[in-house]
Structure 1
């Protein structure tokens, strides 16, 4: 869902000028990659990481840590992970397949398939004839994460996809369709529902029978029950207050087309080879579908030289095909460099992963063996906020105890202007902090329930302890000792 594509993708622009690809790894390169993965698990706290690397005609697999730490199950190339937003490329291929089969056109208005869906802009109804499937495919519909991600309901019933898209009825768009690109994960849920309407199948059945199996992706799943039955599905984790713990995120079955397909690095290696045209034993129709999926939408300004295609972020000459993904307890990154016959897919079972790790591994492939893992922004914020929570809590306790001591030692005294002023100032600060605790998520387009699923708990505790600190200082100020 967290998509963050713009920030990550800039680092891969550097890939364009890389030297001739390496077609076989030396022992030193293999050792360097394994050490980097091991360091990444240790530093990030993420229990397990797996990566598949295509370099020329070679495919290599590396893993570190655990698919399930508590059960002692090691991660390997068969471990299944949630693909997060990397799922969008599969949904993109699915709907483009229907177009190739003549069952729809991406230029069709969405109300041809979902006639009950209506949206607004600045309080006025939007002409639904102007809102096409292409707008959803390229994130130019006006549906964005900032305004609409919290609309995605929790649930696992078969009708959750319909319920998810239903939440968009009469929703307010952030901009008019086609005006600009702004990533919104729920766009692909709309496409998933269109797939159901056109195919007459559930999204999961369609993807399994019409996409995964024909492409030879026998270890890629849309049904979580099937993934669980293999015994290979990784446990997801998240970190708060310096501790990484198993985390079973809420079930967002209605967001599956955008972020909840499951696969392993072995299948993802085949998927990447399909993208590069290496795999030929697939139905002919998919060759056209894959080519179409790499067509970035150039009708809107680029983001750091990248355009959005069908579940892929691509540059103008298609020498970089990339997508990252973040779920509450999984992180993914796929980078494909067709002109170099190189591709990398990183799958991990924690939200703390710095997916720029993939670039460091590419550097190792290019002969730069000395690489180090750097903590992610998510992990850094948790460290800062967790530390702040502890420090501020201690300060709040100290001021409260000092206030009690002052009150005990002080005699009855008249209320001075200085005392009133000081108390009012700190009381006002306390009220402001309490209000901020409630309204902070609104400034970034979320609510607390959504925010606490996707972000560290220390964000909330940091805000609460700040309010407690100002309250304790208020009490301390009120208990001024008489001179």
Structure 2
């Protein structure tokens, strides 16, 4: 009996030793370097949760989650945690379009009006057609600012309203002549998928794209992924990541609201790297073909079907795409020369997913290559500036009031008649109010590409709302006080003149 007990005990100890040794050996030096790199970038960025996958050849060599997926540091991020992709969704929609092209249901050279009755665009005051091909490659001429036309909407017909709402859109370029990234191009493509397939976009993508790629945890639209382990979204505000429940833009699903996790992204990346003789593989290869008839803003970079493609000496060196929503971001990069790809998913809108993805790819491709320095995240910069301006505006207001006082004192010293002095004061305060109203518009144009403030508040740091509120209150209060003072001073002066008479 004692011998049997001793035997069981020895077997247990041996099993623990084997498990411990296997567990330790599973963490390779490369894995440790990637871990350290990601943890460092997370600390710099303030992103609460990140999920990363690395594919080499036909195998996922790294899949891991970092940080937390819920508010108050609840729910750790894992490789199965779901994230909104943002614009890296476009490659999926493009593949859906190419499948319908392959089946003969869509032709890339067809005008959009063939699928959306009555659709037309306007260029130089004349009606013109844009084609499916031009939508696919962002050469339609539809302006970037059309993103502001996408409405907050969670209803089933939201995509139809987005696409049909572009009827009569004023183009910024002649169709086919210039690259201008406009996210709404892919929403129109999503609606064309519906019209050509006879299925809702979400259903078509689930059956003909995600299922074909064995991506069982990938969904089209926020509502479709609600039953899964979806991460909460965050955005920066007053130097800290804060939970943010962004409004739903269901009419923007094909361009930015595919939901997936690192496990499925690894399948997606393997399908991009490894081409077989199947139809889906040939269509993926086709999606990697850039439109070289127009150049993008980046040297050597062209746009394919949902991919930015960097070429050097006639060879494709990288395929990549960034994605961002108000409270999520992602970056995917593929290196054909290294037969490797990296996908990074984050639960905060940030520039760091690209930095992380490129740095991890460097580790995989060349372990001795020195990593680049830190990245500048515009949202961090804006947030810090907004916090500082809350203090600065108070100081500027004091200076401004003092200068106005000096000016009015000089006017008074020149014995200007009371009525004229009152007009000058009123005009001065009225001018200040008008200038204060114009300033936010100028900031929108020069800092946010002309986007409306209603959209800036949704996408930008949370501190912007507070800054705008304080700015508006200070402006309104100071101008009302100045105008009121003019009125009462004028009455007092008139009474004094009457008394003297």
TM-score scaled by length of structure 1: 0.82
Shift of 1:428: 3.1
Select the residue among 263, 267, 270 that pairs with 1:270. 267
Shift of 1:257: 0.4
Shift of 1:121: 1.7
Question: Which position in structure 2 is the counterpart of 1:79?
Answer: 81
Shift of 1:41: 2.6
Tell whether 2:431 aligns with 1:428.
yes
CA distance in 2, matches of 1:376, 1:307: 24
Shift of 1:311: 0.4
CA distance in 2, matches of 1:161, 1:223: 11
Shift of 1:31: 2.5
CA distance in 1, matches of 2:411, 2:453: 43
Deviations 1:433-460 (A, max 9, x none): 2222356536633222122112224446
- SS at the partner of 1:343? strand
CA distance in 1, matches of 2:42, 2:273: 30
- SS at the partner of 1:292? helix
* Greater displacement, 24-33 / 321-330: 24-33
Question: Which position in structure 2 is the counterpart of 1:307?
Answer: 302
CA distance in 2, matches of 1:29, 1:381: 35
CA distance in 1, matches of 2:41, 2:153: 33
Is the 8 Å Cα contact of residues 314 and 322 (structure 1) preserved in structure 2?
yes
Is the 8 Å Cα contact of residues 399 and 473 (structure 1) preserved in structure 2?
no
Question: Which position in structure 2 is the counterpart of 1:4?
Answer: none
Question: Which position in structure 1 is the counterpart of 2:497?
Answer: none
Shift of 1:100: 0.9
- SS at the partner of 1:206? helix
Select the residue among 285, 288, 292 that pairs with 2:282. 288
Question: Which position in structure 1 is the counterpart of 2:202?
Answer: 204
Question: Which position in structure 1 is the counterpart of 2:54?
Answer: 53
Question: Which position in structure 2 is the counterpart of 1:329?
Answer: 327
Q: How do 1:123-138 residues align onto structure 2 when only pairs under 5 Å count? A: 123-126=125-128, 128=129, 131-138=130-137
Shift of 1:293: 0.2
Q: How do 1:248-259 residues align onto structure 2 when only pairs under 5 Å count? A: 248-259=245-256
Is the 8 Å Cα contact of residues 437 and 460 (structure 1) preserved in structure 2?
no
- SS at the partner of 1:120? strand
Question: Which position in structure 2 is the counterpart of 1:450?
Answer: 455
Q: Structure 1 unaligned segments of length 5 or more: list them.
A: 1-23
Question: Which position in structure 1 is the counterpart of 2:385?
Answer: 384
CA change 1:465–1:427 in 2 (3 A) is: farther
CA distance in 1, matches of 2:256, 2:410: 64
Shift of 1:63: 2.2
Shift of 1:424: 6.2
- Structure with the larger helix share: 2
CA distance in 1, matches of 2:338, 2:371: 22
CA distance in 1, matches of 2:442, 2:342: 41
Deviations 1:278-298 (A, max 9, x none): 6x5xx8211221011001101
CA distance in 1, matches of 2:131, 2:460: 33
Shift of 1:395: 5.2
Is the 8 Å Cα contact of residues 272 and 343 (structure 1) preserved in structure 2?
yes
Deviations 1:303-353 (A, max 9, x none): 321111110011232221111011100010000011211100000000134
CA change 1:438–1:315 in 2 (3 A) is: closer
Shift of 1:243: 3.1
CA change 1:224–1:461 in 2 (3 A) is: closer
Question: Which position in structure 2 is the counterpart of 1:7?
Answer: none
CA distance in 1, matches of 2:415, 2:478: 15
Deviations 1:30-89 (A, max 9, x none): 233222322333332221011101234452013210111336101111111001000000
Is the 8 Å Cα contact of residues 235 and 462 (structure 2) preserved in structure 1?
no
Deviations 1:251-303 (A, max 9, x none): 1101100000001111111101101116x5xx821122101100110111243
Is the 8 Å Cα contact of residues 395 and 469 (structure 1) preserved in structure 2?
no
CA change 1:69–1:28 in 2 (3 A) is: farther
The number of aligned residues is: 442
Q: How do 1:406-417 residues align onto structure 2 when only pairs under 5 Å count? A: 415-417=412-414
Question: Which position in structure 1 is the counterpart of 2:44?
Answer: 43
Select the residue among 195, 212, 232 that pairs with 2:193. 195
- SS at the partner of 2:230? coil
Q: Structure 2 unaligned segments of length 5 or more: list them.
A: 1-24, 487-501
CA change 1:463–1:222 in 2 (3 A) is: closer
Question: Which position in structure 2 is the counterpart of 1:16?
Answer: none
* Greater displacement, 54-63 / 414-423: 414-423
